[in-house]
A = this chain, B = another copy of it.
Amino acid sequence: MKNYIIPHEWHIIEEGFDPHLNKISESIFSLGNGRMGQRANFEEAYSGETLQGNYVAGVYYPDKTRVGWWKNGYPEYFAKVLNAANWIGIDIKIDDEVLDIAQCAVTNFKRVLNMHDGYLERSFTARLKNGKEVSITATRLCSIVDKEAGAIKYAITPLNFSGDITVTPYIDGDISNADSNYDEKFWEHVAHAEDGNDVYLTLRTKKTGFEVCTGSRFTISGSSAKVINTLREKYVASTTTVQVQQGQQTTVYKYAANVSSQNYAPANLPDACKKVIAEVSAKGFDTMLAEQAAAWHKKWEHSDIVIEGDVKAQQGIRFNIFQLSQTYTGSDDRLNIGPKGFTGEKYGGSTYWDTEAYCVPFYLGTAPQQVTKQLLIYRWKQLDKAIENAAKLGFDKGAALYPMVTMNGEECHNEWEITFEEIHRNGAIAYAIFNYIRFTGDKDYLNDYGLEVLIGIARFWKQRVNWSAAKNQYVMLGVTGPNEYENNVNNNWYTSMLACWCMDYAAECIAYVKATEPDKYMDLVIKTAFNETEETTYWKKISNNMYLGEDKAKGIFLQQDNFLDKEIIPVHDLPAADRPLNQKWSWDRILRSCYIKQADVLQGLYFFSDKFDLDTLRRNYEFYEPLTVHESSLSPCIHAILAAKLGMEEDAYNFYLRTSRLDLDDYNNDTEDGCHITSMAGTWMTVVEGFAGMTVSNDQLHFKPFLPKQWKGYSFNILFRGALINIKVDANGSHLTTDKACEVFVSGKAYKLTTGQTILAE
């Protein structure tokens, strides 16, 4: 855990330069716009510890799988987010000495991530070995207006000399991926070009053949010095030397663009890139920055959470929302939300069940419904691959198993206990369809996309269970639940419960589509060779005769068969030195213990909270939470929400603390690899679904708020069925406003909201 980020309501601030923290800051201060992004690497040369990272969304490489022992069914390849050409580089020489702050005396170092306006600013004074002092201010943005563009304003002031400064803005395509399995490089050179001060570099990924053209233009304020371009394999640069006077600022502007063959024919990439460069440089940096700020202000209007009386909590929640908004914008249904977003390359893939279980609620509440719909369509487009994936494991007849980790629909992961067994992910994908429709009311989604996915998933579950003669019920053998500290268990309650729900929900949706769009339904029946009577009857038979373990004496659902054979010792009785278990204990010991990584039975009680009474929830919470080590970043949020529901406000608040500043304070000592993007959505859920108790049922929006005693108040907006509703919770109660007349429920009581009026629900 670290404590170096300076609290501020809208800014992330680092003061003073500590090389040991640099990789952490590179992650935290990352920029992105949904289409591309990069870590907060320095523009100028840096010979200290750094993890260079530039990413172009959707551009991946299938790295050959590395395992010790092969199991049939493993994917041959692991699709990785690619580290792409570095477009931010600007080499600086002061009278022949390279500016490299690892080699200088650095003072006044300050890095600010301005979340309100969407840019990064870094300033410092460096005294070089040659004794010369310069003051630098570098301002960078990754435009959410011009989504293929970024821009840098790099201002240099000689403090104690007049002389020559040589500036070399460059694009470097000779890129290594830190997470490569076999130390390969993944990009090959295609072409480079120059046009005045503009330079262009086109690279192609091996195997996948994505082409990305990266271009840049630079200008220097008030200089007409000669520019020499350098073009070599995988590298383009422009160099110029300016004579500077002591105290006089020289400002370099670098406008850059990344255009990719996902959006253009490869032959057109250079022209497309030139066009973007021309457009943004015509605007100029200040206009870009102003447009960026305006666009961010609009995003914040929908998504901001205001917390009063706790600056660190305020900074934390905004950082989470800011990073989520930088990662995914819903503008492209081929994209998804990587676990590290544009802040690192670890884990590969871009899509986990995190998207459906955690991110969907965030985007539903804070963005137009189209944004979440794109996330759903992404999975619909990958249905064929999910069917192939299931076939690889031995399933047939259109059964679909969505991958645990994917980039393009193919499975990327290769641990048998996860890849083959953590199949509850399939349920989360069905649940997200249900959740989307529940929130938006857009049942038509079923007709166009949703039902086909639900049928594939229901078919999978039907084949995945088997009849147990011993139990005289259907059972689900060999699974791993959300609690990955148990592997290959039988009858994981959450998975079995979710499977039954999927089959029931699919059957229910069939009835809806058949009734409302019979033609579309018939098309689907033919496309999927669907035998409605036979298949739905079978689904119901399974759902009605599924073994769902419970211990009647304790009044709890059993996480899995024989869970109570374990020694049950609460986490608080473990020596502190044993925590976190995943670092201190052998895998053997973890597996045999009763300790739970993240919500498992409780995840089911969260998903299906309307099916279980509070007493049932309480008994299960009181049994399982004390055994839970919350060693997944996805764990505290679900527990916070359930604790809030149970009126355990202190617990809820403590869980909030664990999640909201996870990366800012480097809680798990791994932020240097990148930020935990998907769990940031859980932080949002903690406030909105936990503290404010937001739910949707019967097409109506409900709140059941409480105010953590550490706060004066909090407020946020929810986009619900065309209305932007604001709720502000303080000591007086809940203050509600809307931009469109609507009805909401607070603690079970209905309130009619009209525009221009604030209603207080006490």
Residues of A within 8 A of B (CB): 65-69, 71-73, 392-394, 414-417, 420-421, 466-471, 475, 477-478, 487-490, 561-562, 564-568, 582-592
Inter-subunit contact B394/A565 (CB<8 Å) = no
Oligomer copy total = 2
Are A392 and B68 CB-contacts (below 8 A) given A488-B487, A565-B470? Answer: no
Contact of A72 among B66, B466, B582 (CB under 8 A): B582
Inter-subunit contact B583/A72 (CB<8 Å) = yes
Within the assembled complex, what's the spacing in Å between the Cα atoms of A591 and B69? 16
Question: Can you list 7 residue pairs at the A/B interface with Cβ under 8 Å?
Answer: A66-B68, A68-B68, A72-B583, A73-B587, A477-B565, A488-B489, A561-B561
Inter-subunit contact B415/A68 (CB<8 Å) = yes
In this complex, what residue of B is CB-closest to A394? Answer: B589
Q: Which B residues lie within 8 Å of A468 (CB)?
A: 564-566
Q: Which B residues lie within 8 Å of A566 (CB)?
A: 466, 468, 477
Are A565 and B471 CB-contacts (below 8 A) given A72-B586, A416-B587? Answer: yes
Inter-subunit contact B72/A392 (CB<8 Å) = no
Within the assembled complex, what's the spacing in Å between the Cα atoms of A65 and B564? 36
Within the assembled complex, what's the spacing in Å between the Cα atoms of A69 and B392? 22
Within the assembled complex, what's the spacing in Å between the Cα atoms of A415 and B415? 10
Q: Which B residues lie within 8 Å of A475 (CB)?
A: 565
Q: Which B residues lie within 8 Å of A421 (CB)?
A: 588
5 new A-B pairs (CB below 8 Å) besides A68-B414, A416-B588? A393-B586, A394-B588, A470-B562, A470-B565, A562-B562
Inter-subunit contact B567/A467 (CB<8 Å) = yes
Q: Which B residues lie within 8 Å of A469 (CB)?
A: 564, 568
In this complex, what residue of B is CB-closest to A565? Answer: B468
Within the assembled complex, what's the spacing in Å between the Cα atoms of A469 and B567? 8
- Give the one of A477, A565, A582 with max B CB within 10 A: A565
In this complex, what residue of B is CB-closest to A583? Answer: B72
Q: Which B residues lie within 8 Å of A478 (CB)?
A: 588, 591-592
In this complex, what residue of B is CB-closest to A477? Answer: B592
- Min Cβ gap A417→B in Å is 8
- Give the one of A414, A475, A478, A564 with max B CB within 10 A: A478
- Give the one of A68, A72, A468, A588 with max B CB within 10 A: A588
Within the assembled complex, what's the spacing in Å between the Cα atoms of A487 and B587? 14
In this complex, what residue of B is CB-closest to A563? Answer: B470
Inter-subunit contact B415/A69 (CB<8 Å) = yes
The 8 closest A-B pairs by CB, nearest first: A73-B586, A420-B588, A71-B587, A470-B564, A468-B565, A393-B586, A394-B589, A478-B592
Inter-subunit contact B394/A562 (CB<8 Å) = no
Within the assembled complex, what's the spacing in Å between the Cα atoms of A67 and B68? 4
In this complex, what residue of B is CB-closest to A423? Answer: B588
Within the assembled complex, what's the spacing in Å between the Cα atoms of A116 and B562? 57
In this complex, what residue of B is CB-closest to A567? Answer: B466
Inter-subunit contact B466/A591 (CB<8 Å) = no
Q: Which B residues lie within 8 Å of A68 (CB)?
A: 65-68, 414-415
Q: Which B residues lie within 8 Å of A582 (CB)?
A: 72
In this complex, what residue of B is CB-closest to A470? Answer: B564
Inter-subunit contact A586/B394 (CB<8 Å) = yes
In this complex, what residue of B is CB-closest to A490? Answer: B562
Within the assembled complex, what's the spacing in Å between the Cα atoms of A69 and B404? 15
Q: Which B residues lie within 8 Å of A592 (CB)?
A: 466, 477-478
- Min Cβ gap A619→B in Å is 17
Q: Which B residues lie within 8 Å of A66 (CB)?
A: 66-68
- Give the one of A393, A394, A417, A592 with max B CB within 10 A: A592
Within the assembled complex, what's the spacing in Å between the Cα atoms of A381 and B437? 67
Inter-subunit contact B586/A392 (CB<8 Å) = yes
In this complex, what residue of B is CB-closest to A468? Answer: B565
Q: Which B residues lie within 8 Å of A471 (CB)?
A: 565
- Min Cβ gap A475→B in Å is 5
- Min Cβ gap A148→B in Å is 35
Q: Which B residues lie within 8 Å of A72 (CB)?
A: 582-587, 590
- Min Cβ gap A485→B in Å is 11
- Min Cβ gap A484→B in Å is 11
Inter-subunit contact A393/B477 (CB<8 Å) = no
In this complex, what residue of B is CB-closest to A581? Answer: B72
- Min Cβ gap A156→B in Å is 45
Q: Which B residues lie within 8 Å of A415 (CB)?
A: 68-69
Q: Which B residues lie within 8 Å of A467 (CB)?
A: 567
Within the assembled complex, what's the spacing in Å between the Cα atoms of A392 and B586? 7
Q: Which B residues lie within 8 Å of A583 (CB)?
A: 72
Inter-subunit contact A393/B564 (CB<8 Å) = no
Within the assembled complex, what's the spacing in Å between the Cα atoms of A488 and B591? 9
Q: Which B residues lie within 8 Å of A414 (CB)?
A: 68-69
In this complex, what residue of B is CB-closest to A415? Answer: B69
Q: Which B residues lie within 8 Å of A564 (CB)?
A: 468-470
- Min Cβ gap A580→B in Å is 11
Q: Which B residues lie within 8 Å of A416 (CB)?
A: 587-588, 591
- Min Cβ gap A281→B in Å is 45
Within the assembled complex, what's the spacing in Å between the Cα atoms of A416 and B588? 7
Contact of A565 among B487, B490, B584 (CB under 8 A): B490
